[in-house]
Structure 1
Amino acid sequence: MSIYALADLHLSFNKPVDLFQVNPEEDIVKPMDIFGWDRHYERVRDAWLETVTEDDTVLIPGDISWALRLDQAKNDFGWIHQLPGRKVLSPGNHEYYAQSKKKVREALPEGMEWIDADYTLVEDKVVAGTRGWTLPGDRLWDEEKDRKIYERQAGRLRMALEAAAKDHPEKERIVMLHYPPATKSIPTSAYLELLQEFNVTTCVYGHLHGRAQKEAINGEYEGVYLQLVACDYVDFRPVKVHMG
């Protein structure tokens, strides 16, 4: 029984599809080929089937689906459901369908969980999660637009970690964020400070693609193991989550 992670699946099926019977011209709303991710869903499928068993768990920290509405996202959830293992999902910046945590949870197939500002237990470890946000100092940071969201997301992460620490003070803690809690040019943030405060072992994250991955911190950093698990960074293969 192992814990894996894989972010940024960026699925966009327009109807329920079988794992092995996808017609890219008819079944996909937003092909990722323009980004060089040719039939990336097949690469994810094959690598997942080679790697993950039914007894394993896969953490998926955000940008799961391009869907704008929950009824559309159900097609992508259904595709993921056909893959082996338990799945724990949390939101990214493209989860426009996830306005209601309750409704998302009701829409998920059996064996799939949604966490956002809360936590679940996986293999006797706490897994807490929320989205995160762009960090102050990033080239895209807009003080007027981003500050409130950044601070709200930090509050949501604190809420999740406080609940986990209260309920399971002895258990190892893993965090799912979509955005990185720090980068090579932005060495700290409210998110990283919370990871340190609550003695989090590992934080898995995605969001960084292409040249932006040069900014990624991947490894032990300031007392926390940061692990970039974006699809294109890990060759579309679920990777084992680092344990303390």
Structure 2
Amino acid sequence: MAIYALSDLHLSFNKPVTLYDVNPDQDIEKPMDVFGWTRHYERIRDGWLRLVGPEDTVLIPGDISWAMKLDVARYDFDWINQLPGYKVMSPGNHCYYAHSKKKVREMLPEGMRWVDADYTLVEGRVVAATRGWTLPGERFFNEEEDRKIYERQVGRLRLALEAAAKEQPGREKIVMLHFPPLTVSAKESGFMEVMKEFGVTLCVYGHMHGKAREEAIQGRVDGIDLRLVACDAIDFCPVKLFD
């Protein structure tokens, strides 16, 4: 009953498809070929099937579907649902369909869980999540436009961990963010401070692709193991977190 992670699937199926029956010219709304991700869904599928069993869990911290509307995102979630394991998902900056946590949860197939500013339990561990945001000190952080969103997201992570600490005392805590909690340009953040306060041991995140991965900070920082799990950073294959 292992726990894996893989983010930034960036799927865009425009009708129901099966794992082995996809026509890229007709079934995919937004191919990722321009980014060098040619038929990347096949690489996700093959790596997932090779590693993940039906009793395992995969954490997916954001940018799951390009869909603008929930009824279209359903096709991507249904494709993921055909893969083995229990899936725990949280929003990214491209999850435009996820305006209502309640509606996303109502739409998801059985065996899939949406977590946003709250938490769930996986193999006896707390998994808390929120989207995160661009960090103060980063190149594209705009004080006027980004500060309020950043602070709101820090607050949402605090709400999730406060609830977990009250309702599940003593359990190990994992955090799923889409945006990184630290970068080379932003070596401190409210996300890190909140995670340290509540004794989080592991944070998985995505969002950083291509050259941007040079800004990623990974490894143990202040007692927290930071791991970038964006698809292209881990060869489109789920990475094992726990046995």
TM-score normalised by the shorter chain: which range applies? over 0.9
DSSP 3-state at the match of 1:232: helix
Hey, what's the Cα distance between the residues in 1 that align with 2:142 and 2:68?
24
DSSP 3-state at the match of 1:213: helix
Contact 2:2 2:242 in 1 (8 A): no
Residues 71-150 of structure 1 correspond to what in structure 2 (within 5 A)? 71-150=71-150
Contact 1:62 1:206 in 2 (8 A): yes
* Counterpart amino acid of residue 210 in structure 2: G
- RMSD, matched Cα: 0.8
Hey, what's the Cα distance between the residues in 2 that align with 1:223 and 1:187?
15
Hey, what's the Cα distance between the residues in 1 that align with 2:208 and 2:2?
25
Hey, what's the Cα distance between the residues in 1 that align with 2:57 and 2:24?
28
Query: If the length of structure 1 is used for normalisation, what is the TM-score?
Result: 0.98
* Counterpart amino acid of residue 58 in structure 2: V
Correspondence for 2:202: 202
Q: CA deviation at 1:242?
A: 5.7
* Counterpart amino acid of residue 61 in structure 1: P
Q: CA deviation at 1:64?
A: 0.2
Hey, what's the Cα distance between the residues in 2 that align with 1:85 and 1:149?
33
Hey, what's the Cα distance between the residues in 2 that align with 1:102 and 1:18?
27
Q: CA deviation at 1:184?
A: 1.8
Figure out how many residues of one structure are paired with residues of the other and give that number: 243
Q: Deviations over 1:178-200 (max 9, x none)?
A: 00000122111000111111110
Correspondence for 1:36: 36
DSSP 3-state at the match of 2:10: coil
Correspondence for 1:169: 169
Matched, 1:235 2:229: no
Contact 1:225 1:242 in 2 (8 A): no
Hey, what's the Cα distance between the residues in 1 that align with 2:45 and 2:216?
25
The 1:104/1:118 distance shift into structure 2, 3 A limit, reads same
DSSP 3-state at the match of 1:43: helix
Correspondence for 1:10: 10
Correspondence for 1:212: 212
Q: CA deviation at 1:237?
A: 0.4
Contact 1:115 1:129 in 2 (8 A): yes
DSSP 3-state at the match of 1:160: helix
Hey, what's the Cα distance between the residues in 2 that align with 1:89 and 1:98?
11
Q: CA deviation at 1:61?
A: 0.1
DSSP 3-state at the match of 1:181: coil
DSSP 3-state at the match of 1:49: helix
Identity, % of aligned pairs?
68
Contact 1:202 1:242 in 2 (8 A): no
Query: If the length of structure 2 is used for normalisation, what is the TM-score?
Result: 0.99
Q: Deviations over 1:11-61 (max 9, x none)?
A: 000001000000000000000000000000000000000010000000000
Hey, what's the Cα distance between the residues in 1 that align with 2:162 and 2:153?
14
Correspondence for 1:183: 183
Contact 2:117 2:130 in 1 (8 A): yes
DSSP 3-state at the match of 2:233: coil
* Counterpart amino acid of residue 189 in structure 2: S
Contact 1:12 1:28 in 2 (8 A): yes
DSSP 3-state at the match of 1:18: coil
Hey, what's the Cα distance between the residues in 2 that align with 1:183 and 1:223?
16
